[in-house]
A and B are shown apart, each in its own frame.
Chain A
Amino acid sequence: MAMAMTIRNAASRRAMNPISADFSLRSMSSWWKNVEPAPKDPILGVTEAFLADPSPDKVNVGVGAYRDDNGKPVVLECVREAERRIAGSSFMEYLPMGGSVKMVEETLKLAYGDDSEFIKDKRIAAVQALSGTGACRLFADFQKRFCPGSQIYIPVPTWSNHHNIWRDADVPQKTYHYYHPETKGLNFSGLMDDVKNAPEGSFFLLHACAHNPTGVDPTDEQWREISQLFKAKKHFAFFDMAYQGFASGDPARDAKSIRIFLEDGHHIGISQSYAKNMGLYGQRVGCLSVLCEDEKQAVTVKSQLQQLARPMYSNPPLHGAQIVSTILGDPELKSLWLKEVKIMADRIIGMRTTLRESLEKLGSPLSWEHVTKQWANTKTG
Chain B
Amino acid sequence: MDSVFSKVDRAPEDPILGVTVAYNNDPSPAKINLGVGAYRTEEGKPLVLDVVRRAEQQLVNDPSRVKEYIPIVGLADFNKLSAKLILGGDSPAIQESRVATIQCLSGTGSLRVGAEFLKKHYHQSVIYIPKPTWGNHPKVFNLAGLSVEYYRYYDPATRGLDFQGLLEDLGGAPSGAIVLLHACAHNPTGVDPTSEQWEQIRQLMRSKSLLPFFDSAYQGFASGSLDTDAHSVRTFVADGGECLIAQSYAKNMGLYGERVGALSIVCKSADVASKVESQVKLVVRPMYSSPPIHGASIVATILKSSEMYNDWTIELKGMADRIISMRKQLFEALQAKGTPGDWSHIIKQIGMFTFTGLNKEQVAFMTKEFHIYMTSDGRISMAGLSSKTVPHLVDAIHAAVTRVG
Interface of A toward B, CB cutoff 8 Å: 10, 13, 17, 19-20, 22-23, 25-26, 28-38, 41, 44, 63, 65, 73-75, 79, 83-84, 87-88, 91-97, 130-131, 133-134, 137, 146-147, 161, 164-165, 167-169, 201, 231, 234, 236, 265-267, 275, 279-284, 290, 292-293, 297, 299-301, 303-304, 306-308, 310-320
Contacts and interface: CB of A to CB of B under 8 A. Distances in A.
A32 B11 contact: no
B79 to A, nearest CB: 15
Given A35-B275, A133-B289, A282-B293, A317 B242 contact: no
A278 B17 CA distance: 32
B276 A35 contact: yes
B287 interface: yes
Contact of A318 (B57, B258, B283): B258
Given A310-B136, A312-B143, A37 B294 contact: no
B268 interface: yes
B282 A317 contact: no
A310 B206 CA distance: 32
A95 B256 CA distance: 9
B267 A131 contact: no
B67 A283 contact: yes
A280 to B, nearest CB: 6
Nearest to B54: A88
A290 B5 contact: yes
16 contacts: A31-B211, A32-B267, A35-B121, A35-B279, A38-B282, A93-B256, A133-B286, A134-B287, A231-B1, A282-B70, A283-B293, A304-B9, A311-B143, A314-B106, A314-B259, A317-B292
A203 to B, nearest CB: 8
B5 A84 contact: no
Contacts of B121: 32, 34-35
Contacts of B282: 38, 164
Nearest to A141: B143
A314 B287 contact: no
Contacts of B272: 30, 32-33, 35
Most buried by B among A73, A167, A312: A312
Contacts of B239: 19-20, 22-23, 25
A19 B235 contact: yes
Interface of B: 1-11, 14, 17, 38, 46, 48, 52-53, 56-57, 59-60, 65-72, 92, 105-106, 108-109, 112, 121-123, 136, 139-140, 142-143, 176, 202-203, 206-207, 209, 211, 235, 238-242, 250, 254-259, 265, 267-269, 272, 274-276, 278-279, 281-283, 285-295
Most buried by B among A92, A293, A308: A92
Contact of A293 (B2, B72, B211, B279): B2
Contacts of B265: 32
Given A311-B139, A312-B143, A30 B5 contact: no
B67 A300 contact: no
Contacts of B268: 28-30, 32
Nearest to A150: B4
Contacts of A313: 105-106, 108-109, 112, 259, 288
A88 B238 contact: no
B140 A319 contact: no
B235 A306 contact: no
Contact of B1 (A22, A32, A234, A303): A234
A316 B11 contact: no
A281 B275 contact: no
Contacts of B108: 310-314
Contacts of A304: 8-11
